[in-house]
Structure 1
Amino acid sequence: MNIKGKLVIIGGAVDKGSFTETDIDKNAAKNLNFFEEGILKRILDESKHKKESRIEVITTASKIPREIGPEYVKALNYLGANNVDVLHIEKREQATEPEVLARLKAADVVMFTGGDQLRLTSILGGTQFDEILLNKYHNEDFIYAGTSAGAAAASNSMIYQGSSSEALLKGEVKITSGLGLIDGVVIDTHFVQRGRIGRLFQAVVGNPKVLGIGLGEDTGLLITNGKKMEAIGSGLVILVDGREIKDTNLTQVELGQPISISHLVTHVMSKYDTFDLDTYKMSIHSSQYV
């Protein structure tokens, strides 16, 4: 399948900074934080009309949408993008309103904020909004960008619950269906800071066909044609490949008991590295062997 749209999934940030300071230029690095030029500028550069692209910030996942939406607008404005607005969808019925659907159809980029990914999928899943979103992604020069919850919800399989410390105890990780823009992967966010490697291990051992993607803070993946992944941002992306697992006790232990896994393959990506979802081959941009 030839997918015309692009997917940008971002791991989130501990503190994305604020534009409440009066001297934005002087404190730009602190204020932008993960909305720094690396990731946001790349989204603009990849978009159909660059800085002129029509961008809708979608705050559905957030419990404080009226506060978080303007922060995204300010960050994008700072980089020269001024055709930006916030689209608040807080109830399922809003996802069928003609004005909301018209704004989605006109958008070149949608940016889903952080928050609760289950809130995001339970409000938007199966709506007209969801159908148009998928159609645009498959058939138009369009970008779906999501940070934190917005990234986790992008895949077909979605982690929505599970403690980091007990993630390798059977049953601790809960998975449901996401928005389905990309299949064959499961995405976890705030990955390095919150020590969520165990969550991804359990998600993958339950179905080794699925590639686990762990996104660190200030880090993302640009996915083109549904298969080529490029690391963007300043941190790390961890990939967990379960296809070569040799043994596990997953089906033998009771709920709450530790899981053993033999021969689980992991990859670590940093900026400009690529990974092909068709071949499962990784290319390191600054390899010491080239």
Structure 2
Amino acid sequence: MNVRGKLIIIGGAVDKGSFSETDLDQNAANNINFFETGILKRIISESRLKEKSRIEIITTASKIPKIIGPEYVKALAYLNATNVDVLYLDKREMASDPETIKRIKAADVVMFTGGDQLRLTSILGGTAMHDLLLEKYQNEDFIYAGTSAGAAAASNNMIYQGSSSEALLKGEVKITSGLGMIDGVIIDTHFVQRGRIGRLFQAVVGNPKVLGIGLGEDTGLLITNGENMEAIGSGLVILVDGREIKDTNLTQVELGQPISISHLVTHVMSMNDTFNLKTFKMQIKSSQYAEDLGIPTD
């Protein structure tokens, strides 16, 4: 079945100018100025009614929702999107409240903030709101946007814990179910800056059918038709493809022991590059072979 909605998943902290910050956890209220490199602006331009689209900000993952929510409203207003509100949900019953459902039904964009993805899925998973999000994503011109925790929770499989420095020790990476907006991928965020490549390697070697997506800060992916991915923002997207793994010691070593992997394929995407989840083919927008490949260079 064709997917009518769009996913925009964002790696986290960005270069922010007037809404500036360098670390999401320490200064989350200022982690908003995605318009600096066009990510928030792209969300608006991809939405059904552009600047007039109804946008709901969901702060469930955040420990400081009353601070972070209004900051998103401020940043979006800077881009002339003023039909925006914050939906505060900190208890499961609130996600099935008739007023919540009414607001989600009317939304063209739902944007999930950063924080703790396990908090997000444990509160929203299996609720009437969760069911409605899945239905709207499948059947309507609707955008699910998420940054950091909101991005990590978008897929069926979700990393929720794991030390960056010890990520290639067996058992260090913890995975559970996400919100299930997209299947066949697993997403990690703040990827380059926090050295999380090992986390994604372990997630993929445990199930090589799943494509690992590592989102750098100030970076996102726009996913259309459930399969076409375009890199947006100024940073890098790392893709980890385990389908051609030749060997590993994963099942032979004890918990806490290092994991060996042979022939793990990786791709690195930057702005405007594309990748198809059905064909597993990547296209580099500014390829040195663009003329031979017939790729438009404007």
TM-score (norm 2): 0.92
Unmatched segments (≥5 aa) in structure 1:
21-29
Q: Which amino acid aligns with 1:106?
A: A
Deviation of 1:220 (Å):
0.2
Residue of structure 2 in register with 1:109 after alignment: 109
Structure 1 distance, partners of 2:249, 2:16, is: 40
Secondary structure of the residue that 2:221 maps to in structure 1? strand
Query: Do the aligned partners of 1:248 and 1:262 also contact (CA within 8 Å) in 2?
Result: yes
Residue of structure 2 in register with 1:25 after alignment: none
Residue of structure 1 in register with 2:271 after alignment: 271
Deviation of 1:38 (Å):
1.1
Structure 1 distance, partners of 2:106, 2:137, is: 13
User: Is 1:178 paired with 2:178?
Assistant: yes
Secondary structure of the residue that 1:166 maps to in structure 2? coil
Equivalenced residues, count: 281
Deviations 1:14-41 (CA, angstroms, capped at 9, x unpaired): 6756659xxxxxxxxx986434251011
Structure 2 distance, partners of 1:61, 1:169, is: 28
Residue of structure 2 in register with 1:24 after alignment: none
Residue of structure 2 in register with 1:141 after alignment: 141
Secondary structure of the residue that 1:86 maps to in structure 2? strand
Structure 2 distance, partners of 1:160, 1:252, is: 25
Q: 1:61 to 1:32 in 2, by over 3 A?
A: closer
Query: Do the aligned partners of 2:14 and 2:33 also contact (CA within 8 Å) in 1?
Result: no
Structure 2 distance, partners of 1:87, 1:285, is: 38
Q: Which amino acid aligns with 1:34?
A: F
Query: Do the aligned partners of 2:58 and 2:110 also contact (CA within 8 Å) in 1?
Result: yes
Residue of structure 2 in register with 1:39 after alignment: 39
Structure 2 distance, partners of 1:166, 1:70, is: 36
Query: Do the aligned partners of 1:117 and 1:153 also contact (CA within 8 Å) in 2?
Result: yes
Q: Which runs of 4+ in 1 moved over 2 A?
A: 14-20, 30-37
Deviations 1:32-54 (CA, angstroms, capped at 9, x unpaired): 64342510111111000000000
Q: 1:16 to 1:254 in 2, by over 3 A?
A: farther
Query: Do the aligned partners of 2:253 and 2:259 also contact (CA within 8 Å) in 1?
Result: yes
Structure 2 distance, partners of 1:131, 1:33, is: 30
Q: 1:63 to 1:17 in 2, by over 3 A?
A: farther
Sequence identity, in percent? 83
Q: Which amino acid aligns with 2:169?
A: L
Query: Do the aligned partners of 2:33 and 2:75 also contact (CA within 8 Å) in 1?
Result: no
TM-score (norm 1): 0.94
Structure 1 distance, partners of 2:220, 2:53, is: 21
Residue of structure 2 in register with 1:197 after alignment: 197
Query: Do the aligned partners of 1:6 and 1:144 also contact (CA within 8 Å) in 2?
Result: yes
Query: Do the aligned partners of 2:249 and 2:259 also contact (CA within 8 Å) in 1?
Result: yes
Query: Do the aligned partners of 1:18 and 1:31 also contact (CA within 8 Å) in 2?
Result: no
Structure 2 distance, partners of 1:88, 1:112, is: 11
Q: 1:124 to 1:31 in 2, by over 3 A?
A: closer
Structure 2 distance, partners of 1:19, 1:210, is: 36
Structure 1 distance, partners of 2:57, 2:250, is: 40
Residue of structure 2 in register with 1:281 after alignment: 281
